[in-house]
Chains A and B, each alone.
Chain A
Amino acid sequence: MAPVLPGTMLFSWEFPYMPSPLKYFFSRLVGAIVTILVGSLLVFLVMKAAPGDPALAVLGDFATPESIADFNRERGFDQPVLVQYMHWLNDLVHLDFGTSLSIASGRDIGELLAFRLPNTLTVGVYAILIAIVIALILGTSAAVRRGRPTDTIATAVSVLGVSMPDFWLGYMLILGLSIGAGLFPSYGFVPLSESVTGALHSGFLPALAIAAPMAAVFSRTLRAALVDNMDRDHVTVAKSFGHSRRFIFLHHVFRNSIIPFIVVVGLQVRYLLGGVVIIELIFGIQGVGSLMVDAAFARDYPVVQACAVTFLAIVLAVNFLVDVICAMLDPRRGGRS
Chain B
Amino acid sequence: MKVSHLLKNRTALAGAVITVIFLLAIIIGPIISPWDSAGFDFASVLQSPTGAHFFGTDGLGRDVLTRVLEGARVSLMISTFGVGLAMLLGVSVGLYAGYLGGWFDDTVMRVVDLLFGFPAFVLALFLMVVLGFGVINVGLAIMMVYLPIFARITRNSTELVRNDPYIQAAQIMGQSTSRILFREILPNISAPILVQASVSIAFGIVIESGLSFIGLGVQPPTPSLGVIMAEGQEYFRRAPWVMTMTGLTITIALLALNLLGDGLRDLADPRLKSREI
- B259 CB-CB contact with A under 8 Å: yes
Given known A-B contacts A167-B213, A278-B210, A308-B122, A10 and B117 have beta carbons under 8 A apart: yes
Q: Which residues of B contact A231 (CB under 8 A)?
A: 275
> Chain A nearest CB: distance from B224 CB in Å?
13
- B95 CB-CB contact with A under 8 Å: no
**Contact of B275 (CB < 8 Å), options: A3, A227, A296, A315:** A227
**Contact of A165 (CB < 8 Å), options: B215, B250, B262:** B250
- A292 CB-CB contact with B under 8 Å: yes
Interface size on B, residues (CB 8 A): 52
Chain B binding surface, main DSSP class: helix
Q: Which residues of B contact A162 (CB under 8 A)?
A: 254, 258
Contact (Cβ within 8 A) A311 B119: yes
Contact (Cβ within 8 A) A10 B113: yes
Task: Name the interface residues of B213-246: CB closer than 8 Å to any CB of A.
Answer: 213-216, 229, 233, 236-237, 240, 243-244, 246
Contact (Cβ within 8 A) B119 A172: no
- B276 CB-CB contact with A under 8 Å: yes
Task: Name the interface residues of A254-310: CB closer than 8 Å to any CB of B.
Answer: 269-278, 281, 289, 292-293, 296-297, 299, 304, 307-308
Contact (Cβ within 8 A) B117 A165: no
**Contact of B114 (CB < 8 Å), options: A39, A167, A293, A296:** A39
- A49 CB-CB contact with B under 8 Å: yes
> Chain A nearest CB: distance from B32 CB in Å?
27
- B270 CB-CB contact with A under 8 Å: no
Q: Which residues of B contact A271 (CB under 8 A)?
A: 119-121
Of chain A, the residue at the smallest CB distance from B252 is A163
Contact (Cβ within 8 A) A39 B259: no
Contact (Cβ within 8 A) B121 A278: yes
**Contact of A315 (CB < 8 Å), options: B109, B119, B277:** B119
Q: How far is the CA of A52 from the CA of B130 in the complex (A)?
A: 9
Given known A-B contacts A4-B109, A171-B243, A311-B122, A304 and B129 have beta carbons under 8 A apart: yes
Of chain A, the residue at the smallest CB distance from B277 is A147
Contact (Cβ within 8 A) B277 A146: yes
Contact (Cβ within 8 A) B113 A8: yes
Q: Which residues of B contact A274 (CB under 8 A)?
A: 119-122, 124
Q: How far is the CA of A149 from the CA of B116 in the complex (A)?
A: 37
> Chain A nearest CB: distance from B76 CB in Å?
14
Q: How far is the CA of A63 from the CA of B137 in the complex (A)?
A: 29
> Chain B nearest CB: distance from A155 CB in Å?
9
Contact (Cβ within 8 A) A278 B118: no
Q: Which residues of A contact B240 (CB under 8 A)?
A: 171, 175
> Chain A nearest CB: distance from B7 CB in Å?
20
- A82 CB-CB contact with B under 8 Å: no
Contact (Cβ within 8 A) A171 B247: yes
Contact (Cβ within 8 A) B113 A304: no
Of chain B, the residue at the smallest CB distance from A308 is B126
Q: Which of A47, A51, A159 has the most CB of B within 10 A?
A: A159
Given known A-B contacts A6-B116, A165-B250, A171-B247, A277 and B275 have beta carbons under 8 A apart: no
**Contact of B276 (CB < 8 Å), options: A35, A169, A224, A269:** A224
Q: How far is the CA of A201 from the CA of B68 in the complex (A)?
A: 34
In the assembled complex, 22 residue pairs joining A and B whose CB atoms fall closer than 8 Å, in A order, are: A4-B113, A6-B152, A7-B113, A8-B113, A9-B113, A10-B114, A35-B117, A39-B118, A42-B114, A163-B252, A163-B258, A164-B254, A165-B250, A167-B210, A174-B236, A228-B275, A271-B119, A273-B119, A293-B214, A296-B125, A307-B122, A316-B117
A interface residues, Cβ below 8 angstroms from B: 1, 3-4, 6-11, 35, 38-39, 42-43, 46-47, 49-52, 146-147, 159-160, 162-165, 167-169, 171-172, 174-175, 179, 223-224, 227-228, 231, 269-278, 281, 289, 292-293, 296-297, 299, 304, 307-308, 311-312, 315-316, 319
Additional pairs, 19, CB under 8 Å, beyond known A1-B101, A43-B126, A163-B252: A7-B116, A11-B110, A38-B114, A51-B130, A163-B255, A165-B206, A165-B247, A168-B243, A168-B247, A172-B244, A172-B247, A174-B236, A179-B237, A274-B124, A277-B119, A277-B122, A296-B125, A296-B216, A307-B122
User: Ordered nearest first, which 10 A-B pairs have the shortest CB separation?
Assistant: A274-B121, A168-B247, A273-B119, A163-B254, A274-B119, A50-B130, A163-B255, A274-B120, A296-B129, A311-B122
